[in-house]
Amino acid sequence: MNISTYTVKPKLPPVLEPLEEIANNLWLSWNYDAVQLFIRLDYDSWLLSKQSPVRTLGMVSQERLAKTAVDDSYLAALKEVNDRFQDYKKGETWYRGDHKEVVAYFSMEYGMDASLPIYSGGLGILSGDHMKTSSDLGLPLVGIGLLYRQGYFKQMLNADGFQQEGYPENDWYNMPVELKNGKDGQPLKISVDLAGSQAVAQIWEVKVGRSSLYLLDTNIEENTQDIRNVTAALYGGDKETRMQQEILLGIGGIRALRALGINPAATHMNEGHSAFLGLERVREVMEEKGFTFNEALEAVWPTNIFTTHTPVPAGHERFEITMMDKYFRSWPQVLGISWKDFLALGRIHAGDERETFCMTVLALKMAAYANGVARLHGVVSRDMWKDLWPGLPLSEVPIAHVTNGVHPRTWISSGMLDLLDRYFGPHFEDKPTDLEVWERMDRISDEELWRTHERRRERLVAFVRERMYEQYKRTGVAGNRMRQAEDALSPYALTLCFARRFATYKRGNLLLRDPERLLRLVRDNDRPVQLIFAGKAHPHDIPGKELIREIIHFADKYDVSSRIVFVENYDMNVGKYLTSGGDVWLNTPRRPMEASGTSGMKAAMNGVLNCSILDGWWDEAYNPEVGWAIGHGEEYLDEKLQDDVESKALYDLLEREIVPLFYQRGRDGLPREWIKRMKECMKQIGQSMSFHRTLMDYSNMFYFPALENYRRIVKDNYAVSKSLASYFAKLQQSWGSLKIAKIESNAKPVMQRGDTLTVTAFIDLGTVKPEEVLVELYYGNITSSLHEITDANKTEMKWIKSEGSLNLYQICVECNDTGMQGHTVRILPKHEALVHPYRSGFIKWA
């Protein structure tokens, strides 16, 4: 069948034309008054569109548009919103530099608004907040991702409470995405090789305030059906589909930026999915400059940033060598290296032919800058990947941490935001990087804060009842159960919320371990407690699905379905109701398996108090003024014992502290002590966990140094990179013969604090010059086992002279610490162009 296609757009009266630009920019996703314009335009269309502004515009009748065009109240609201939108786009920002060179941010998913369902969970929500905050800060950053025809699955629970999946198709022509065309007016396209087949992708743009996100789409006529399916579904298909998606994201993403005329001076890999971009960037430099692989790698390495999110080994993408052979067999020839050396880029142990190819390893080897997403996760990540830097002390493994945050104006409810804007002033919106504004929480009266929160709880209860009614109706439930949905939950009861991906290590059923204690809490008519659960299990995760069913069966078995509720199809919309309307946010992972987590931050900024295991972000944010900790950060070998101990600790907290504090009311009916904690929670978490703090950290620690590295590298036509490659080639040949012959010092069995310790090292450098290595004194406290130095200090030793074949280095340091002390000497690479001296295989200890 030959079908001619064309796009039909709504015909807006001239005075309403600003609505089209606003609808197509996700700035509205964190500006509720902009969303209100579409709700006011036609409420029925808004509901039918599933809260999509673009689709709403297309559904509203011309008659309704004509009436609105002469509504002075509506036009005044439109003008006010549009003026703010235009001012925002042109306004002064935190970043004052130019945008000639950009940071390209690569992520497999982006969660920015319910109207653009190309996300599954935490990683996508984080990427969405990253893009929004980048817009607020005015950073020279663009996003790269994939445009999934089906996005992530829709969760439906059957009558037995078992999760089923639906995959609705996305209609891009009624969503806030725009196809990018070239100068010839035709769609811009790029291609990548997928095991001998050329996959062609077109490029779509999503406008996010001042920033842009570009998405690749293979669902076009040039491709065969199997290639068209590469962007069919997020995390869909098999391992081969995953390989194809990651080639398209990494390699295709770089090519898309080139096609758009954008220079990715630095790249940020958000998880290992996009790590193949490192290969493409190296290939580009080799082709452009005629460089060797090592020379090109030294040009690219200082401008790559990698963030790992996964503390669980199984969560790191690995491909069998047969799969690598199928898709990358031609690449060693392109890069001028052997097949063995190519595979070594993705292996911890380069010579182990049984080891699979790991995307995280590739990213770590390709990037000068790497980080985990919370302080504890940084510790876990350094331990997980320490074997990539053999001989390097764990504390020096070059993986830092930047603790995640959330975009406040996206996640704080509209009612609470109105309250904060009123008391914080315009500074709160106009200068989001001034986090001291949260100190103004004390200006808000207890009464106003509590009433605002109570209204959010009322809305949450109404929302959940509506969802329950729809679910029961769909599954054929009738009679009493349908009536039960109409009065389930109480708008006045203490409400605990648990919402996240249902994986077994997150322990969504921890609270069910002692039915008697739990039922005593939820059946207490004087001080009632109610629980709302939500979350999806991965389609192939049967144990995760069983957890969901266990919760639903528990509520049915003990006839507490009106007090313990599971809300199906957890997404951004559901998340906003829960994080703003609950009273306590529960989080019960097995420490240290939660990398960071961000839902608790969203809750905290709405005044919802956290009760959580000391894991992820809560491990560093917790103090008794802002919530509760389950346990004291213990880690267990026996999981059953851990579940028993921590579930009892949770019941104790609820019975002895949380429930009594919530229901401790004065004459005016206000829980003053609870409100005091709410204020302190909002103040502290608002400052420390705002994504504006997160992105300023990324900028100062990684983005700005990487962009400066790029300018330095290209300034001398990549001479620095050639010099560095030549340096390491020479060092590689000589490293084995370097020798620390002896160490002398004036150390006595007992030294006094304030004494000067003088250490001299005699080093055989062979053909290496003294200025080509970093010789360090490594000193500090000695552990009781006398095997290692802890809390080490490092000081560069000064070259003094040559004595025959040996080079004499010396340093004087003051004895400041007491107790058993020790020192040794080590050698590391030293070159003016090195970002840091920690290169795999290049460390020599005395």
SS3 assignment, position 205: strand
Q: What is the mean pLDDT of residues 724-744?
A: 93
Structure tokens at 374: 């919370």
3 state SS for 305-371: EEECCCCCHHHCCEECHHHHHHHHCCHHHHHCCCHHHHHHCCCCCCCCCCCCEEHHHHHHHHCCEEE
User: CB-based burial of residue 442 (10 Å sphere; 0-12 exposed, 13-18 middle, 19+ buried)?
Assistant: exposed
pLDDT in tens, 151-175: 788 999 998 999 999 988 888 888 9
Sequence-distant (≥ 6) Cβ neighbours of residue 147 within 8 angstroms: 118, 172, 177, 204, 215, 216, 217, 231
**Res 113 pLDDT > 90:** yes
**Res 3 pLDDT > 70:** no
Residue 482's pLDDT band (cuts 50, 70, 90): confident
Would you mind telling me the total number of residues written for the chain in this entry? 846
**Res 6 pLDDT > 70:** no
Residue 286's pLDDT band (cuts 50, 70, 90): very high
Q: What is the mean pLDDT of residues 643-661?
A: 97
The angle at the Cα of 103, spanning 101 to 104, to the nearest 5 degrees, equals: 120
Residue 476's pLDDT band (cuts 50, 70, 90): confident
d(CA 712, CA 833): 9
Give the pLDDT of residue 206.
Answer: 98
Pairing verdict, β 798-803 and 739-745: unpaired
Residue 749's pLDDT band (cuts 50, 70, 90): confident
d(CA 110, CA 120): 8
Give the pLDDT of residue 8.
Answer: 57
Cα 230 to Cα 146, 223, 225: the distances in Å are: 10, 10, 9
**Res 479 pLDDT > 90:** no
Calculate helix-pair angle for 122-137, 691-698, nearest 10 degrees. 80
User: Which contiguous run of DSSP H or E holds residue 202?
Assistant: strand 197-208
The angle at the Cα of 811, spanning 805 to 814, to the nearest 5 degrees, equals: 160
**Res 361 pLDDT > 70:** yes
Q: What is the mean pLDDT of residues 4-26?
A: 84
**Res 211 pLDDT > 90:** yes
Pairing verdict, β 197-208 and 189-194: antiparallel
**Res 515 pLDDT > 90:** yes
pLDDT in tens, 557-604: 999 999 999 999 999 999 999 999 999 999 999 999 999 999 999 999
Listed residue (297, 282, 298) closest to 834, CA to CA: 298
Pairing verdict, β 494-499 and 529-534: parallel
Q: What percent of the chain has pLDDT over 90?
A: 85
β-partners of residue 179 are 204
Sequence-distant (≥ 6) Cβ neighbours of residue 608 within 8 angstroms: 497, 579, 580, 582, 583, 584, 585
Tell me phi and psi for residue 722, to 5 degrees: -65, -40
pLDDT in tens, 782-815: 876 667 888 889 999 999 999 888 999 999 988 8
Give the pLDDT of residue 9.
Answer: 65
Give the pLDDT of residue 752.
Answer: 86
Structure tokens at 218: 């293979």
SS3 assignment, position 158: coil
The DSSP annotation for 789-824 comes to: EEEEEEEEPEEEEEETTEEEEEEEEE--S-SSEEEE
Q: What is the mean pLDDT of residues 482-488?
A: 84
Q: What is the mean pLDDT of residues 690-705?
A: 98
CB 164 within 8 A of CB 546: no
Pick from 158-167, 667-676, 819-828 the range whose average pLDDT is largest.
667-676
**Res 179 pLDDT > 60:** yes
Q: What percent of the chain has pLDDT over 70?
A: 99
Give the pLDDT of residue 1.
Answer: 55
Give the pLDDT of residue 170.
Answer: 87
Of the two residues 677 and 236, the one the predictor is more confident about is 677
pLDDT in tens, 418-473: 999 999 999 999 999 999 999 999 999 999 999 999 999 999 999 999 999 999 88
Residue 147's pLDDT band (cuts 50, 70, 90): very high
Listed residue (157, 155, 165) closest to 561, CA to CA: 157
User: Which contiguous run of DSSP H or E holds residue 637?
Assistant: none
Please give the mean pLDDT across all residues of the chain. Answer: 94
User: CB-based burial of residue 445 (10 Å sphere; 0-12 exposed, 13-18 middle, 19+ buried)?
Assistant: exposed
**Res 236 pLDDT > 90:** no
